[in-house]
Amino acid sequence: MSEINRLYQYKTLLSGRRAMSRADIMAQLEISLATFKRDIAKLRDQLHTPIVFDRDLGGYRLEKSDSTELPGLWFSQDEMLALMTIQSMIVQLEPGLLGPKLKPFQKRLDDMLASQGLDAATLTQRVRAVHAGKRHLPLTSFETLAKATLERKQVHIAHLNRQNGETVLRDISPQQLVHYRDNWYVDAWCHLRGGVRSFSIDAIQGATLLDKAAKDMDLLAMREQLNGGYGIFAGSPKAWAQLRFSAARAPWVAQEIWHPQQKSQTLPDGRYELVLPYSDERELMGDILRFGAEVEVVGPPRLREQVQAEIQRMAASYRSPL
């Protein structure tokens, strides 16, 4: 008998009985004392099965509770509510991507919630995900990359460089999937360039799973490398941006995390100063400009000049009437 089948037998043995002695359980399952002890520990600690020893009855029994069983798992009502909330957010996060795959699990959760007087439809209607700047995601490419990431396989991709309009064919070894600002990226070892690259999945026009083992990397070391820059741009920081936000905007920005290594302080006049590293100024400039006159770039000089030049180009666009 396999371990999983044996563990399921405990529920069968203990259901409908007041209690069952250790000796009877061992005899029924034909197991040793050591195996029995391991089984009980796994049922309690890993599968969260409410199995207890009743001294008064002299045996083991299933404790009555408000928990509900899934195959190999036991969930309380609060845990099921949490699962339903997560499921609702995932479906809204990427409609059509994970929704169909979660349908069987969702139906079982709906049934369990209904048995406890809870309406799953009402719950999902009360959880809302708001998207901004979300780009169209090719589901086929995403599913291929997700499969390759989990199964540790290489992928052949056709990647569009939006800056120059060139499509480059390359083989990559996916390391991790990243959801950032409503869009999906894959961090991978690029066999063409011989280094770590981050690819926007919506820019991948085709993906083919290869029968080649992926190159494995130290994830912690890779994340340290990727997190050096600002936002989605990887690489070692080339400079530190020094930004000063107005006193009116300070209460909001002071609660935001722009970079794990950022430094900040509130100035005597109420303004908020934020200092953070960056390796590529493109995304950083976009975030600076969205604050308009509420922020000033103090340094470095090159970043200040770039923002000034962009503001001048923007102003020029509004000088002539439509």
Q: What is the pLDDT of residues 147-168, one digit of tens each?
A: 999 899 999 999 999 888 999 9
Q: Note the pTM of the prediction, 2 decimals.
A: 0.64
Distance of alpha carbon 315 from alpha carbon 309, whole angstroms: 10
The CATH code of domain 3-64 reads 1.10.10.10
Q: State the DSSP H helix or E strand holding residue 307, giving kind and residue range, or none if neither.
A: helix 301-317
**pLDDT 10s digits, 223-274:** 777 777 788 876 778 899 999 999 999 999 999 999 989 999 999 999 999 9
How far is CA 156 from each of CA 14, 172, 204, 210, rounded to the nearest angstrom? 52, 6, 10, 7
The sign of the torsion formed by the CA atoms of 251, 252, 253, 254 equals: positive
In the chain, where the domains are located = 3-64, 74-125, 139-226, 239-317
How far is CA 322 from each of CA 20, 234, 317, 318, rounded to the nearest angstrom? 85, 40, 10, 9
Top-level CATH class of 239-317? alpha beta
Determine phi and psi for 171, rounding to 5 degrees.
-100, 135
CATH topology (fold) of 139-226: SH3 type barrels. (2.30.30)
pLDDT of 201 higher than 70:
yes
How far is CA 280 from each of CA 15, 99, 222, 228, rounded to the nearest angstrom? 62, 36, 18, 10
* Amino acid, single-letter form, for residue 188: A
